[in-house]
Structure 1
Amino acid sequence: MSLRLRLVLAMLAMLVASALVMGLVAYRNVLGETEALFDYQLRQMALSLRDQGEIASAQAGPLADESLDFVIQIWTVDGRSIYASRPHAALPARALLGLANVDVRGQVWRTFSVATRDRVIQVAQPLQIRHRLAARAALRSVLPLLLVTPLLALGVWWLSGATLAPLARVAGEVRRRDEQSLAALGTDDLPNDIAPLVHALNGLLQRLRESLEGQRAFVADAAHELRSPLTALKLQLAVLRRTASADERAAALDALGVGIERAGRLVEQLLQLARNEPGAPGAPFERVDLAEVARDAIAATLAFAVSRGVEFELFADAPVHVDGDRAALGVLVRNLVDNAARYSPAGARVEVRVASADGAATLDVDDAGPGIPAADRERVFDRFYRRSADQTGSGLGLAIVQRIVERHGATVQLGDAPLGGLRVSVRFGRTLEPVSAASA
């Protein structure tokens, strides 16, 4: 049901209820007023006949008119009826001086009686007639409201349409959009009740536009990055097919394996980045020991570090708990330690520290590599960014770290490490219990 129809029905219901209440109040008020007026008429009629000796034939004729709703009776002082304005099947047979209600054969009469020296005069009127006259008077007072109700309904219908026109305009503008139209809705001449809705829709459209633009850029960048390793794999496969000697074939197979490994790592990083993009569904958060996650990440990277002659040193003796996605945190630490091992010289040492400082969990990874100049430390978190053309890697490691950090409400900073290379510091929220850091 539309808001317009709901408003009209509500207004009509209020009008009908008001008419009923007004009719009831008017009926009771008019009934009281007519009762007093009719009592006054009965009194004046009886008193006017009190000082009259006899009722003349000229006056008796009009008083006997059956269209009149009252009856006049006169008795002698000894109770003998000497006059009745008109015959009736059930008239009050006795007189009670003053105003009284007399029940005669199931019909109630309102009477007024007055006594003189030689007779008693009574004027009576049925109560049913009084009530009917009062109801007619009440209906006449309410009838104008009932007649004007349809006009009011039409007015409410038109007024509701004019009031809801801005909302209909916004709905029409949204309805005419397609999936490519994400421009902001117009905000001119909007009522205060609708403006917050339009502003919220504009905010949603902006977020959708940014998300779609990010996805398009991600797909374009991913396609560009995948083109090079796939082209290299095709060339290596062609070289493998042309090789004749066993040594050349072994070398070609090794090169092909390295290319496949590189392409597989790139695809894995792309999937990790996609899973941690804003708005992507993720695993629910749980209580995670960051020190344990660091140990697992180092163990997973240890073979590669040994191949380069790099040693890991972990400083995390006690558990440090954070709320997060265990798998995503594992990816974060693996990317950091993998980058540290990849860019450190042979025989260098990589230090990983997990601690609690001021009630907040911290993760520091120090290496002895070339580091990153301060001017480039913001850009290295961009996807596919490489500081130089001959730099190895896909340029996704720190971008993935940034997305995971944002998802967990943490912060990441780059600085100079005491070992001479780069320090990556990740600071989480408050921990459950403080721990002391010691050399492991």
Structure 2
Amino acid sequence: MTKSLRARLFVGLTAVILLAGCIGGAFTYLWAFDEAIEMQDSTLIQIGSLLQNGSVKSDQSLGGVDADAEVDVTELGMAPHGSAEERLLWSHQDGLHVVSRIGQSVRVLLRTRPDGSRFAVTQLTDVRDDIASSMAIRTLLPIAALIPCLLLVAALVVAGSLRPMVRLAGDLDLRHAVDMTPLPLADTPSELHPFIASINGLLERMKLMMDQQRRFVADAAHELRTPITALSLQAENLDPADLPEQARERLGALKQGIRRTKHLLEQLLALARHEAGPNGEATVVPLDRTVKDLVADLVPEAARKGIDLGFQLIEPIAIKGEPMMVATMVRNLLDNAVRFTPQGGRVDIGVYREGKEAVVQIEDTGPGIPSGDIDRIFEPFFRGSRPAEDGIGLGLSIVNRIVDRLEGIIVLENISDRRPKGLRATVRLPAMYRSDPREESPLSISQLSRST
């Protein structure tokens, strides 16, 4: 049995319409059939009246009355004579009768003239039934044409009645994951109000739970920053000390763990901050300058790994957003590219306009993302099936949430059409024009040195 409410309503209405149409059609057919039989009896009576009054002679053609009716007139005379069937007709009283004649059923009207002579007006029953059936079927044609129209109207009514529910589902599908605003009750059927009220209550509870979770994460990360910073300083103070080789190796591992924990706390704070919403007012952000500054910050780290970091193309372009939010988004993408690119690899950056969109594209020569991890790569704390370095699985989740807030899209795809292979991250955001578009001219890789 189908679980679709629309299908169930349509099937139910279709069954009711067809049942009502069949029952109504049967009664209409019987009524029209009976009326047609009575009309033919009236025709026989009218012909009999004309013959009885002498207005029409029995030897005149009756084809003009109704050629398809096949009405015949038989003179029976003053007394019974002729064939046995004519003598049998004479034995009946005046009026309408059904008799057998020449092996066929016949409807007959007997009349007696004032002079005592009698006559019979006859019509085959089969002919009468054919005429009545034809008239009754023609009566059913409007009903037969009405049923498809009623089915179409029923489908439109069902679709229109369920349209508010479909629109409500569409609005929910288009919402961001963090949008917990209540659903509106306006312009919705009253039958849906309890359902919408229940959803709004659920959204309110989810919002409260998410706020509590964000506050807990932010408070915990903030409280842990102080002891982690103290541990980091204490570890740095041990560098000048004369330590055995084994102790210095353990000190290096301790420093790496502290750096990893510190990075985790910073990412947790960033995640909590961006889930709570923008901290500053949206302004015009020069995207090209922001990316340049962030690339310059990462040049020393890239140089230590022997990574060729630079621009393929950079154009002056601006977007609207919170500067810190935009910087965090680009920084995380660049940091991932540099971290996962092997020694001696390459990271190419492009910042350019494409139609009404500002595009930031970062390509690296790292291992890429396994095909089975692509769908989950933006989930918090998901590090994939082959994690490397000291990633914690929050960077791309933060990037994805920032891109959503900026009303853009981000696409990660493995590069397989070149050697070496790698990963391409493409962010598309609504672009704005600078106040002075001639402020800077586009720079290509030939105009901007690598690793700067």
Q: What's the TM-score bracket when you normalise by the shorter of the two chains? A: 0.3 to 0.5
- TM-score normalised by the chain length of structure 1: 0.48
Largest Rg, 1 or 2 = 1
